[in-house]
Chain A
């Protein structure tokens, strides 16, 4: 009994270990096949991971794994925070992924691009020890602990978008990403179409111009355009575009309160800029209205009322801007009066 028992144990052990080896090889190739399938499913070639797939592809297979992962940590609820640039980085990441796949003819199964979303897979975030975004991490084949053995991409490495991400990958994995294929803004067909349209259109335009009947001959268009450009510029809208400033902030102390005006002269919020730009512009418009339009009005009372309204509004606007400026910048503008006056 004892022998047979030992025998049985031995046999079973051998079988088991044999099975394990085979299954390991099989499971490895299966995993890669799974990954390839997932990759081909997604448009850009970025595999979407969740807690289940993380354990399937990363935590359960033994090291060394036959592949590396580069993972983009995403959070949908932070997409509207423009200062994080999450959405742009995600797009750039996808660009690197698709370029990598096309450049390597999808034959390369060493590196997979993945993303993972915070809401869906909070435990994976824990697993990686990720508590700040944007975050991109490279998990090499030998990484045992996801938190400590994987490499984090520095902020400097994704500052220059797709190109620097590719540089990072090339330097760490010894794989070549190759040139980044950015989609052209206009396809060639569209360009040709536009050129053709322009060519056909140009004689008509020329004729109209010589006849003097275009929209451009209407000074009102130019007038409103000029005033709009003025309003747009003095409201600091360029600042808001370049810095991607939000229209307003939520008060930190009281989430129900919105902050429309930011104290400190180096920065402004969107709504704030437009409000003051409006105040800047309205005074001039009223003055022009009074001096150029109101004088032609016949009715004396109407004139009087309109003027008083204009005076009141202008006075209020100027006062408001002066007040806001003092509040925002903290400059104490003062006159230089003779000292005997004080």
Chain B
């Protein structure tokens, strides 16, 4: 590291030496960043290597289908796209109801590659979008952390983020979902905000608004930004850190950002009309009042100012009160107080569990326990407090933002496990700062105390130059701290000034640093332990990426004593539908499989994962919970020709339709009161064995799942519920089995053609079932709810991967009150 030639210690040589070192450092940083990008990309390829290049899960299939449409028909068609393949017979306006960021991004990448004559398929582009954006996200983390605590901390934070498990869980190759690009957008928006705050440049302020626009396009989580930044601004004002830079960083963001956000169809006027955005407007007013105060303070003499201040404060207060009153009136006039249920459950964590059971039931919305933190941010959980403290020493505008970010996100993650994703970047940034400072201290201690080197003049030169660098860094920090009250002159002149001021003091600084060293052997041990901690993090992250988060859930595998088993039943079934049914046939299934059916089988579905219409879902739920004949009538009235059920009883796949069935009953019963949950429960217990209720044994879902099941092993032993089924031998009267996949995981039935003689009856009971009573409906339809047994949880995926091993999974009934 030290340059031996520069031993003469003359000032000009030192200067060139210094620039050389800086240049070398710059190049090194560049290559390190490049490697970090490669790391972030490649650690996410486990899913492609272990399985294949496929789109994962459910929602990504919808995004994939939209992207296909976009690349085929162009952007204007995309905005106006009315999708008639879903929600039959209603259809869905796609252009106005999706966050288009992800689709447009992947579409643009595809178009770019194609115009460069690189003929990649749309699917390939979609699969690799998330890993690519993870690399971008780690670079954005570098930039953000560099603005806060320098390049060393930036690099550390970037490498931590490149492999943080929480982020990996949402961005493995194939996980083509909004979060994949949104986390990058989130970090980049924060970086530009901090950059504007540090430089006071309108250029960055404009970029910041555009980055915010991209974030709004990409993910509903943008409300986190538009609340966090105002909070930080308010914090700065309250703690007396107001500066014109703060004004430049904030005011354009609110004005431009809100205007841009309103351009996104799915947000539209929500950008000015919902409570989630009101905080930003309130702070916008406050910052103007404060700016006015500072302006008047600047132009008036102190005595005059005292007179003016009373005037301004009273006027400002009056305006504030008026605006607050208007806001309160606006908020109070709406029934939910202007907040969506999900936001409310963040502010009052017990809200959802009390009033919206359907939100509380979703596995993603559960509050995490401590192992979740260890699983998702691993050893970073240990380092974060050190990072928080480092941010306070010294406290600058930028570091106070990081503290606010970590504090809010860690609180939110405590309420909902899915918000761990927002915590992950903050944890990486603070841990990066902590690690980098710890390495700094320990290596310095070792360097100054290595035996036989302390008297060497050659090292002195190196020391001095490195001390210069550190002194400069220190100066930057102190400068930032001092700068709060006065306006900032141009950056270049400042730099020159700094160099003049600091040269004489470098020698004494180096002496001081020598005194600040820690004991040698303890430093060595600490350093080693920190390296081990980092190594453990790497091992954990690689394991999490490879084992826990890479399963695509469309192809399942399991290891057993006789080798690897692959379950590709879903695609088998969708391919069968695609090749053996008419293109306009309607396929009914529970809504979980809607997106996949439209995307892979290209057939019209009744309900899908968008869940915007509760009545429609309830109709399907009712049909599944009804006896065969009533179900046939409902499905026939919906023009359905095929029914698809997912059945895990043969191979032990726990998230099948029988396990989700109680939700069908509940949702169906919410709209059609003749479906009652107690009818399907024996003494409050959900069971399918011989103790099951007759209603349960006669409902369509039971029959379609267990039809001919006894022929497999002669007993009808269900390996998920771990019991023999209740009714083993029965015939279907209104449906016929047309296809069952290799492992029986997907079974497709066809509605038998209508018989003439039951026609009169059909009409009668149809009118009965279609009479909806929507009095008891809650906000159910607005919220996504998963199955009872967990959605995208690592735990669930372990269950799946232990198929055939018959490991007990979360297959108990829904939570019942213990008596």
Contacts and interface: CB of A to CB of B under 8 A. Distances in A.
A334 interface: yes
A277 B390 contact: no
Interface string A263-275: 0011110001100
Chain B at the A interface: SS class: helix
Nearest to A211: B240
B372 interface: yes
A212 interface: yes
Given A217-B239, A236-B370, A288 B529 contact: no
Interface in A278-326: 280-281, 283-285, 287-288, 290-292, 294-296, 300, 303-304, 307-308, 311, 314-315, 317-318, 321-322, 325
Task: Please tell me the size bucket of the interface on B.
Answer: 35 or more
A21 interface: no
Given A284-B382, A295-B516, A219 B395 contact: yes
A288 B518 contact: no
A242 B411 contact: no
A230 to B, nearest CB: 5
A279 B102 CA distance: 39
Contact of A307 (B440, B522, B684, B798): B522
Contacts of B516: 295-296
A88 to B, nearest CB: 10
A17 B390 CA distance: 93
B406 A321 contact: no
Contacts of B371: 265, 268, 325, 328-329
B415 interface: yes
Interface string B788-816: 00000001001000000000001000001
A268 B441 contact: no
Given A236-B414, A300-B519, A307-B522, A329 B375 contact: yes
A295 B518 contact: yes
Given A219-B395, A226-B406, A281-B385, A311 B526 contact: yes
B184 to A, nearest CB: 24
Interface string A222-234: 1101110111111
Max count, chain B CB within 10 A of own CB: residue among A206, A223, A237, A238: A238
A133 interface: yes
B668 to A, nearest CB: 15
B120 interface: no
Given A227-B385, A311-B522, A233 B410 contact: yes
B28 interface: no
Given A238-B414, A284-B385, A292-B393, A133 B519 contact: no
Given A133-B819, A236-B369, A276-B370, A292 B407 contact: no
Nearest to B525: A311
A219 B540 CA distance: 35
B276 to A, nearest CB: 21
B427 to A, nearest CB: 10
- Residue in A226, A237, A314 with the greatest tally of chain B CB atoms within 10 Å: A226
A242 B441 contact: no
A132 interface: yes
A284 B817 contact: no
A229 B383 contact: no
B228 to A, nearest CB: 14
B350 A226 contact: no
Indicate the member of B371, B388, B438, B818 with the most A CB atoms within 10 Å.
B371
Nearest to A207: B313
A320 to B, nearest CB: 11
Nearest to A280: B381
A283 B577 CA distance: 56
By CB atoms of chain A within 10 A, which of B382, B411, B438, B677 has the most? B382
Interface in A138-176: 154-156
Given A238-B367, A242-B349, A334 B313 contact: no
Interface in B220-247: 238-240
A227 B388 CA distance: 7
Contact of A239 (B369, B411, B795): B369
A288 B392 CA distance: 11
B392 A223 contact: yes
A230 B384 CA distance: 8
Contacts of A314: 382, 529
Nearest to A85: B817
Nearest to A209: B238
A65 to B, nearest CB: 29
B374 A321 contact: yes
Contacts of A311: 522, 525-526, 529
A127 to B, nearest CB: 19
A184 interface: no
Contacts of B375: 325, 329, 331
A336 B542 contact: yes
A271 to B, nearest CB: 12
Given A133-B819, A290-B441, A268 B526 contact: no
A283 B349 contact: no
A333 interface: yes
Contact of A336 (B369, B517, B536, B543): B543
Contacts of B523: 307
A324 B392 CA distance: 32
B406 A335 contact: no
Contacts of B386: 283-285, 287-288, 291
A241 B389 contact: no
B174 to A, nearest CB: 20
B411 A234 contact: no
Given A225-B407, A239-B367, A308-B522, A212 B240 contact: yes
Contacts of A331: 375, 548, 798
A300 B795 CA distance: 49
A303 B445 CA distance: 12
B370 A287 contact: no
B20 interface: no
Interface in B299-347: 309, 313-314, 317
B539 interface: yes
A179 to B, nearest CB: 17
Contacts of B382: 280, 283-284, 287, 314, 317-318, 321
Contact of B434 (A134, A272, A287, A322): A287
A183 interface: no
A266 B370 CA distance: 10
Contacts of A295: 441, 516-518
A214 B240 CA distance: 10
Contacts of B349: 238, 241-242
A303 B515 CA distance: 12
A120 interface: no
Contact of B518 (A216, A219, A303): A303
B369 A273 contact: yes
Given A209-B238, A311-B525, A84 B818 contact: yes
A236 B367 contact: yes
A132 B817 CA distance: 11
**Centre residue among A83, A214, A234, A303 by max chain B CB count within 10 A:** A234
Q: Determine which residue in A272, A328, A329 has the highest number of CB atoms from chain B within 10 A of its CB, and name it.
A: A329
A217 B240 contact: yes
B389 A292 contact: yes
B350 A242 contact: yes
A296 B515 CA distance: 8
Interface string B398-417: 00100100110011011100
A328 B249 CA distance: 46
20 contacts: A84-B818, A203-B313, A210-B309, A225-B407, A229-B411, A230-B407, A230-B410, A233-B414, A265-B372, A267-B369, A284-B385, A284-B389, A287-B385, A295-B441, A304-B519, A307-B518, A314-B382, A318-B379, A333-B539, A334-B543
Given A222-B239, A318-B379, 10 more contacts: A84-B817, A216-B239, A229-B407, A229-B410, A232-B414, A236-B373, A268-B369, A283-B385, A287-B434, A288-B385
6 residue pairs, one from A and one from B, having the closest CB atoms: A284-B385, A233-B414, A132-B819, A288-B389, A238-B414, A307-B522
